[in-house]
């Protein structure tokens, strides 16, 4: 049963970003799931991930980091899909928006992203040491986050398929640069897009277990 399930508009960087907000009754935390470059929030894979998160007791804000005008190519300042700093600021703005909503402002927030969106998530994580619980990225391009990696103070989970050794190397190099706790989990028989049967389910299982551990650590630290 959902307390909230609606389309929302999030102001960020002088544009308005579209999103889908779902908050299950008695949600334990929120996941901000970044979209709009390598992934669509309407794709079957994205919907499968969010549905699994809801069943696990997490609310979600699936947020497009590119506005409708930008997506149609009519924004006067050109294509912003690979401006990672800007996309990171927009991800952070989505976090601030969640913290301002009555139904979600008290809930911890985890940042999720895949592909290029993962770089925006890592950029935002570097800017949100006190507002993000953790960051989880898969099929990631952490190299695009540049020097933001050295400023991350929240735990980071990298999930990668064993059929993509190039991305595994990028994750390993990124993990070495992050001062906060980080971990790499490898999904067997999976490629970079996790399109193999059961691969995306394994990503969600790893991500929810990681977030559960972070929530328990936060609760224990507050006692």
Mean pLDDT (the chain, rounded): 92
Q: Is the pLDDT of residue 76 over 70?
A: no
pLDDT in tens, 123-162: 999 999 999 999 999 999 999 999 999 999 999 999 999 9
User: Looking at the domain that runs over 2-221, which CATH code has it been given?
Assistant: 3.40.50.1820
pLDDT in tens, 151-194: 999 999 999 999 999 999 999 999 999 999 999 999 999 998 89
Where does the pLDDT of residue 78 fall: very low under 50, low under 70, confident under 90, or very high at 90 and above?
A: low
Split at pLDDT 50, 70, 90, the class of 74 is low
Query: Is the four-CA dihedral 153, 212, 42, 115 of positive or negative sign?
Result: positive
Note the pLDDT of residue 153. 97
């Amino acid at each position: 049963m959902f307390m909230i399930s609606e389309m929302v508009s999030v102001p960020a960087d002088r544009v308005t970003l579209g999103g889908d907000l779902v908050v299950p009754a008695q949600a334990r935390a929120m996941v901000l799931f970044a979209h709009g470059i390598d992934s669509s929030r309407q794709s079957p894979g994205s919907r499968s991930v969010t549905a699994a998160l809801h069943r696990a007791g997490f609310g979600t804000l699936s947020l497009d980091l590119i506005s409708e005008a930008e997506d149609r190519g009519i924004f006067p300042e050109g294509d912003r899909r690979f401006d990672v700093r800007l996309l990171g600021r927009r991800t952070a703005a989505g976090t601030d928006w969640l913290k301002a909503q009555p139904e979600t402002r008290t809930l911890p927030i985890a940042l999720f992203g895949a592909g290029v969106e993962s770089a925006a998530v890592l950029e935002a994580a570097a800017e949100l040491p006190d507002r993000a619980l953790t960051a989880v990225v898969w099929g990631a391009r952490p190299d695009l986050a540049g020097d933001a990696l050295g400023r991350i103070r929240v735990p980071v989970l990298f999930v990668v398929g064993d059929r993509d050794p190039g991305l595994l190397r990028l994750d390993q190099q990124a993990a070495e640069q992050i001062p906060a706790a980080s971990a790499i989990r490898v999904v067997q028989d999976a490629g970079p897009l996790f399109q193999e049967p059961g691969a995306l389910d394994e990503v969600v299982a790893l991500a929810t277990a990681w977030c559960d551990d972070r929530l328990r650590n936060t609760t224990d630290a507050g006692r």
